[in-house]
Amino acid sequence: NKSLNYNKGFEDFPETSEPVWILGKEYNALTEKDEILSDVTSRLWFTYRKNFPPIGGTGPTSDTGWGCMLRCGQMILGEALMCRHLGRDWRWVRGQKQREEYVSILNAFIDKKDSYYSIHQIAQMGVGEGKPIGQWYGPNTVAQVLKKLAVFDTWSRLVVHVAMDNTVVIEEISECGCVATLYLSVFLLLSFKSITSSNVTPAHWEMALWKPLVLLIPLRLGLSDINEAYIETLKQCFMLPQSLGVIGGKPNSAHYFIGYVGEELIYLDPHTTQPAVEPCEDGQVNDETYHCLHPPCRMHICELDPSIAVGFFCRTEDEFDDWCMRIRRVGLSAVLFCCFPVYSS
C-alpha cells in the first residue's frame, strides 16, 4: 500500500478549529489532515503540457502561458465525470491498478485530437466562440465550449447546462415515461438577476428518464474586485453536496477552487508545465502527473477576480431537487439575497 506522506510539507496548513470544506465534504483541520490530503489528491489535476501533437495539425504543441483556464475547465468537468462514474467518495491510491472507469475518464482528457475533452478539442471548439487557438479564455467561454463537447461523449451522457444571465430554467423533466413540469422559486445570493434552466430539450434526454446534469453558472461578483457581500454565499457553494467547485482566479491566471478554510480558498493550480502523456498499449495511463502530490494551494478570498463560474453536479433528479431545496434554504436564511428563480417553461 503505497500511501503518500501527507504530513510532510503540510505544516503551513492552518491549525484551526474552523471547518475545512472540500467539494461538499467537511473536515477538521486538527484531526483529519490525512483525509483532507487524500481528498485533494484524488481530484484530477490538469496542468500545462508540452510536446503534444500540434493543435489543428500545425498549431501549438504546448499550452504554457495561455491554457490555464482551459485546464481549469478540464478539472471541473473531470470532477463531474468522477462523480458520475466513480462516486464522490472514491479515492486515488498511488501505484494501485485503477478501475476501468477511471482509466476511461483519464483517456477523455489525454492531449490528442480524438479525446473528448482534450486541449485540442477545447481550443478548436473555442474558435466558434470567437477565441483563436492560443488565446486566453474566461470562465464563460470555457463553460460554453464544455457544453458543446459533452454532446459527443456518448459514454458519460451528461447534460451540461450553462446558466446565462444567471437564470436556471429546467424544462420537460421526464419521470416514469411522462414529462413533468416543475415550478420552483429558488433564492441564491450570488446574483442580481435570476437563474434560469436551459436549453435542455427532449432530444438531449433521449430515452433516459434523467441524464446527469452539470450546471455551470458564470457570475460576476463585483467590478474590479469581489464584492464582500457575496463572500459568505460563495463559501456556502462549497458546502453543497452537489458542488463541483469554482473556476476563476486572478486576471489571466486561472485556478480551480475546490473548497475553503476560514477566509482562504483552497485550489488546484494548473501553472506547472509537464510533458504530455501517452497511454500504454493496454489503454492504461501513467497517472501520477494527473494528481497533485503536494499540499493544496490557498489564497485569501478577497484576492479572487470577480469573474467566475460556479459548478454543480446532479446525478439524479432527486439530487437536483435537493439542490433546489438547499439553494432556497440558503437564500431564505441570508441577510442579503437576490432572487434566483429556477423554473420550467
Q: Residues of the chain whose pLDDT is less than 70? A: 1-11, 165-209, 283, 330-345
Q: Is 85 part of the annotated catalytic residue set?
A: no
- In degrees and rounded to multiples of 5, residue 312 shows phi and psi of -140, 150
Q: What is the pLDDT of residue 25?
A: 97
| Residue of 63, 111, 269, 305 marked active site | 269
Answer yes or no: are the C-beta atoms of 250 and 269 closer than 8 Å. no
pTM: 0.85
- At position 118, the amino acid (one-letter code) is S
Q: What is the pLDDT of residue 209?
A: 64
Unique residue bearing C-alpha cell 431537487 = 321
Question: DSSP label at 127?
Answer: G
DSSP secondary structure string for all residues of 42-80:
HS-----EESPPPGGGTS-SB-TTT-HHHHHHHHHHHHH
Helices (H) and strands (E) in the chain, counts: 8, 18
**Cα separation of 285 and 296, whole Å?**
23
Q: What is the pLDDT of residue 105?
A: 96
**Cα separation of 14 and 257, whole Å?**
17
Q: Is 225 part of the annotated catalytic residue set?
A: no
Q: Using DSSP, state whether 200 is helix, strand or coil.
A: coil
Q: How many of the other CB atoms lie within 10 Å of CB of 221?
A: 23
Q: What is the pLDDT of residue 249?
A: 86
Dmax over Cα atoms in the chain, in whole Å? 57
- Terminal alpha carbon distance of the chain: 53
User: What pairs with residue 339 in β-bridges?
Assistant: 187
- Grid cell, residue 91, equals 479515492
> Per 3-state DSSP, what percentage of the chain is helix, strand, and coil (rounded to 5)?
30, 20, 50
| Residue of 39, 63, 68, 305 marked active site | 68
- Grid cell, residue 284, equals 492504461
Q: What is the pLDDT of residue 5?
A: 43
**180 CB-near residues (< 8 Å, 6+ apart):** 173, 174
| Residue of 34, 85, 153, 271 marked active site | 271
CA atoms within 13 A on the CB side of 41: 20
- Grid cell, residue 58, equals 500545425
Q: Is 72 part of the annotated catalytic residue set?
A: no
Burial of 230 (0-12, 13-18, 19+ CB in 10 A): buried
Give pLDDT tens digits for 71-100. 999 999 999 999 999 999 999 998 888 899
The domain limits of the chain are 19-191+207-343
Give the H/E segment covering residue 249.
strand 243-250
